[in-house]
Each structure stands twice: as structure tokens, then as C-alpha cells.
């Protein structure tokens, strides 16, 4: 049986989410229909939207359902440029490709915002870039990084952006359900959240947009989502998303305790390799995320060795699987190519145990010892 240590890629589906999906699938109607079955489906979706709005600290109509994080991030960039008239885009150096890609293709000037060696946005450098901007402009900063778990000071960033006349989008795909996320308190203009990172089904997410901010759709047809996104609603996915989010947010105190397992694992790995580098170690991080590098121990070798030992870990973002390239996140933090190529991401979750940590460290240590024996032979 595989021990799953890749929650940041996709978390195991929660039983409450599974039950909600099955229940919604048994509700036959289309929520856009006016007959009884259709209205039953609409009621299911409305209840889910209200639950998510409560957990996110936003208005009910601020939640627009999408197919996931990539669509939400792409969509908001289109609106920033074409609806809000932003003259430039500023994006964090460690942002997800679903944000970096559309900004590069937006046709407006783009500035990459540097991070400190610990992965946190360099606020001094950010202030310098802000001073050169002409309003309106668009800024995209994720709440928590998918590879390192590093958490950015969004409230401070939001104050700076708005004082300079800009719009702020926050990608909270990795954060929601793992740390408290309050849209109003963060001060962002828009925010991305997804289902499958917190134990809901894949293929469903949401774009949160503050109430007084207009947004233009890019998918046309019917009048779903108050005319902002056409297409028959994914009622089952929406129901599963809300159920998973409700449980995840209720269990945030328990999730926070995963930091103890994460740090104990790092300590055990350092016993095997004293030169182990933990990225973002002195920064605020998601409690479940350990991104580390053992110099000379290639990430591909580690991932394969641990897979054979019954552990699922990754060598970075799952969106980049199969690509032989250095992590742009670690490069932005100043890591050498050699160090970055030896980095793995271990992301824990609600099913992780103390025994799992001990077993992982034991097998990892044996794999490292075998490599050193081969090098010395």
C-alpha cells in the first residue's frame, strides 16, 4: 500500500466530498431548468456556494465557479487587461505557470517581482517597482507557494497595491483548506481557489471577485453564473468542493499540527544528510509542506526510490511532471541548478502518521547510502 505524501498535487478525496458528489449526481435536473428537478439541482448548488462564501469570507455572488485554478488565473488576467484596462502586469517570480503564462501573452508590459532567498516577496524591491507604475496596473501574488509552501504577506502587499492605484489577484489554490483564508481580510480584488488540493473532486474551482468589480466572461452561451461564465453547471463537483472545504476548514487546527511532523521529518533526513537544504525554512510556510534538497542525490532518483519503497512524493509541481527543467521557484530563491535538481517536495495531509514519517526517513536514508556506496565503488 502506498503512503501518499503528495497532497499539494492532489489530495485524497474526503468521504464527505464523495458522498456529496454521489448525492448530487442522483439529483437529475439541470440547475438552469425551472421545473422541480432543475430547482432541486439549483438548490444544491446555491447551498454549496453559500457554504464556500462563508468559509472564504466573501459575498455569495462573489464566488464564480470555474473548471479549476488554471481557468481562474487565465480568466482574471484577461479581465485585468481588457476589462479593467491595466497598463502593466506585475507578477511574483515564484508564481504558478497558469499565472505566468497568460501574463506573458497578455500584450502589456510585464515585471517579475523578486523574492528573498527564503522565498518571501521582497517588499523593498516591490516598493521600487510600484513607484514606477502608472495606474491602473495588475499584480498577481500567490498566498502560498505550491512547491515550497512559503506564505506571502498578502495584507501588506494589498495595502501597497491599492495605495498606488492597482488591482491585486491572489492565487490561494494551495492555501485554502490548509491555513485560514479570509478574502475580505486579505484585501485582494480577486482570488483563485480549487477543490482537489483540499480533498474535493478534480475539475472544479472558483474565482472570487469583490462585489463592486466588473468581470467579463470569456465563455459564452447561456446565462450561468449571473451571466459571467456560460456552460451547464458542474453540480456534483460544486457539491463535493463545498463539502470538502467545510470539513477542511473545520479541521484547520489539526492540519496546523502537521508542522510538527514536517519538522521532525526534516530533522530525521538531516541525520542521514547533514547538508540537507530546506527551502523556505525560516519563512512562514504551509504546515504540511517540506521542499528539500540533498546535494548530489538527484530528485528523479529519490522519487523513484521512494516510489519503490511505497511512498509517493514529487520533484516539484505536478503541473510540470515529465519536464526535465530546473524549478523556476527554486531558481528565483537563488538555488543553483545542481541544488534545484536534487529537490523533492514532500506534502503531508490528514492521513499522515508518525509511523509514516519514521518509515520514510528510514527508506530515504537507505537509498542515500546505496547511492554513496555506488559512488565510492
Looking at residue 322, its pLDDT comes to 52
Q: Which residue has the cell 462564501?
A: 53
Looking at residue 293, its pLDDT comes to 98
Average of per-residue pLDDT values in the chain: 96
Looking at residue 319, its pLDDT comes to 55
Looking at residue 375, its pLDDT comes to 84
Q: What is the pLDDT of residues 153-166, one digit of tens each?
A: 999 999 999 999 99
Residue 91 to residue 81: CA distance in whole angstroms: 14
Which one of 44, 249, 272, 319 is the catalytic residue? 319
**Whole-model pTM?**
0.96
Residue 294 to residue 303: CA distance in whole angstroms: 13
Residue 74 to residue 4: CA distance in whole angstroms: 30
Q: What is the pLDDT of residues 31-62, one digit of tens each?
A: 999 999 999 999 999 999 999 999 999 999 99
Task: Name the band, by pLDDT with cuts 50, 70 and 90, for residue 318.
Answer: low
Q: What is the mean pLDDT of residues 180-193?
A: 98
**342: annotated active-site residue:** no
Looking at residue 1, its pLDDT comes to 83
Looking at residue 27, its pLDDT comes to 86
The region that residue 226 occupies, defined by phi over 0 for left and psi between -120 and 50 for alpha, beta otherwise, is: left
Compute and round to an integer the Cα radius of gyration of the chain.
21
The Cβ of residue 233 has, within 10 Å, a number of other Cβ atoms equal to 20
Question: SS3 of 32, please?
Answer: coil
Residue pair 201/235 in contact by the 8 Å Cβ criterion: no
Q: What is the pLDDT of residues 14-29, one digit of tens each?
A: 999 999 999 999 988 9
Amino acid at each position: 500500500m502506498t503512503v501518499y505524501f503528495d497532497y499539494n498535487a492532489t489530495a485524497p478525496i474526503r468521504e464527505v466530498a464523495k458522498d456529496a458528489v454521489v448525492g448530487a449526481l442522483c439529483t437529475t435536473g439541470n440547475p438552469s431548468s425551472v421545473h422541480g428537478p432543475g430547482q432541486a439541482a439549483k438548490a444544491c448548488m446555491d447551498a454549496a456556494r453559500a457554504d464556500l462564501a462563508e468559509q472564504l469570507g466573501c459575498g455569495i455572488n462573489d464566488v464564480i465557479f470555474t473548471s479549476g485554478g488554471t481557468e481562474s488565473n487565465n480568466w482574471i488576467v484577461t479581465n485585468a487587461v481588457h476589462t479593467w484596462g491595466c497598463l502593466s502586469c506585475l507578477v511574483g517570480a515564484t508564481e504558478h505557470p497558469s499565472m505566468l503564462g497568460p501574463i506573458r501573452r497578455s500584450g502589456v508590459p510585464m515585471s517579475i517581482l523578486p523574492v528573498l532567498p527564503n522565498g518571501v516577496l521582497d517588499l523593498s524591491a516591490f516598493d521600487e517597482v510600484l513607484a514606477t507604475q502608472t495606474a491602473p496596473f495588475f499584480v498577481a501574488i500567490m498566498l502560498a507557494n505550491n512547491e515550497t509552501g512559503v506564505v506571502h504577506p498578502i495584507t501588506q502587499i494589498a495595502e501597497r497595491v491599492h495605495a498606488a492605484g492597482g488591482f491585486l489577484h491572489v492565487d490561494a489554490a494551495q492555501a485554502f483548506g490548509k491555513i485560514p483564508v479570509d478574502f475580505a481580510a486579505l484585501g485582494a480584488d480577486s482570488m483563485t481557489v480549487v477543490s482537489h488540493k483540499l480533498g474535493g473532486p478534480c475539475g472544479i474551482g472558483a474565482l472570487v471577485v469583490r462585489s463592486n468589480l466588473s468581470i467579463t466572461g470569456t465563455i459564452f452561451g447561456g446565462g450561468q453564473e449571473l451571466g459571467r461564465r456560460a456552460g451547464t453547471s458542474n453540480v456534483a463537483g460544486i457539491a463535493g468542493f463545498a463539502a470538502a472545504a467545510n470539513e477542511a476548514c473545520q479541521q484547520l487546527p489539526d492540519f496546523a499540527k502537521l508542522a510538527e511532523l514536517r519538522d521532525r521529518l526534516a530533522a530525521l533526513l538531516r541525520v542521514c544528510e547533514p547538508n540537507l537544504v530546506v527551502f523556505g525554512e525560516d519563512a512562514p510556510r504551509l504546515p504540511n509542506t517540506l521542499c528539500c534538497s540533498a546535494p548530489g542525490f538527484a530528485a528523479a532518483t529519490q522519487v523513484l526510490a521512494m516510489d519503490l519503497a511505497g511512498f509517493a512524493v514529487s520533484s516539484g509541481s505536478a503541473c510540470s511532471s515529465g519536464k526535465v527543467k530546473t524549478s523556476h521557484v527554486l531558481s528565483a530563491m537563488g538555488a543553483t541548478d545542481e541544488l534545484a535538481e536534487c529537490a523533492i517536495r514532500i506534502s503531508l495531509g490528514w492521513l499522515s502518521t508518525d509511523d509514516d514519517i519514521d518509515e520514510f526517513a528510514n527508506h530515504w536514508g537507505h537509498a542515500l547510502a546505496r547511492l554513496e556506496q555506488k559512488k565510492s565503488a
